[in-house]
């Protein structure tokens, strides 16, 4: 079944992991993917893999902390495909670790500028096109915003994504009259490049097999394996599709049942 049927979806933060999987799921679902990321090389590689002939994709280097660049990406979607039907926000700063006692609040402000305000800038840039026919905004949040993991400390990341989820409720009310839906996907431990790197690093640091580290994670799940970045991408595309036409203001955990709410 073609979930998107020619719809155009802007995807921010396209790299080797989740952003690439979301863009691939958009094209696989019959849609047009408009890719944004700071590194143009990542965009060229991703677009070439998901859409070799370029018929259903376009890309532009985009830093979501820059309002003008957000507007340029939205303009590209309109110029190339005639409009925007959805936005999936993958772009995030997730590599800053620590808690309160060791916090560098200048860095916290930068994390918030990317994860919260950057997503809102990109959403606002797409609003004129979304208002023309309605559509969907999908934020990628994190399970860490509602249940702190014991394995790592990412207080700034969790706080920024929690703020984004809170903003979702207001946006769902504000934009609902324009038939624009706003939802959030909350991934838990997600098998993809970042978690693969975590497992490899932990195994090397502790001198144990990678399988042992992975087992510690999976034994926390109701299902016997981690969700993948492809699973999270499929959930995002579902929320961007008309199958979710009556769903707004909701947070969907994709976490193999580690946390149930």
Range with lowest mean pLDDT among 16-25, 191-200, 201-210: 191-200
pLDDT digits (tens, 9 = 90+) for 206-235: 999 989 888 888 998 999 999 999 999 999
> pLDDT of 26-39, one tens digit each?
999 999 999 999 99
User: Dihedral sign, CA of 129, 130, 132, 135?
Assistant: positive
157 catalytic per annotation: yes
pLDDT at 22: 98
Question: How far is 178 from 170, CA to CA, in rounded Å?
Answer: 14
* pTM, 2 dp: 0.92
């Amino acid at each position: 079944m073609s979930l998107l049927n020619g719809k155009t979806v802007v995807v921010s933060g396209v790299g080797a992991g989740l952003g690439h999987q979301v863009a691939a799921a958009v094209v696989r679902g019959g849609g047009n993917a408009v890719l944004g990321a700071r590194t143009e090389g990542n965009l060229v590689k991703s677009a070439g893999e998901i859409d070799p002939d370029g018929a259903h994709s376009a890309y532009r280097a985009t830093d979501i902390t820059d309002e003008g660049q957000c507007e340029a990406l939205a303009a590209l979607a309109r110029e190339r495909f005639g409009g925007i039907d959805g936005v999936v926000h993958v772009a995030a700063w997730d590599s800053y670790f620590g808690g309160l006692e060791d916090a560098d609040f200048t860095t916290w402000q930068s994390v918030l500028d990317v994860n919260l305000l950057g997503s809102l800038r990109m959403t606002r840039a797409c609003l004129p096109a979304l208002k023309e026919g309605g559509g969907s905004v999908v934020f990628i949040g994190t399970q860490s915003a509602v249940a702190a993991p014991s394995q790592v400390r990412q207080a700034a990341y969790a706080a920024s994504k929690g703020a984004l989820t809170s903003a979702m409720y207001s946006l769902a009310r504000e934009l609902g009259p324009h038939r624009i839906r706003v939802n959030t996907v909350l991934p838990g431990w997600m098998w993809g490049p970042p978690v693969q790197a975590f497992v490899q690093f932990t195994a090397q640091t502790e001198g144990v097999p990678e399988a042992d580290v992975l087992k510690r994670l999976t034994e926390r799940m109701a299902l016997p394996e981690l969700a993948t970045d492809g699973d999270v991408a499929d959930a995002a595309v579902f929320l961007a599709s008309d199958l979710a036409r009556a769903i707004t203001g909701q947070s969907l955990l994709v976490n193999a049942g580690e946390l149930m709410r």
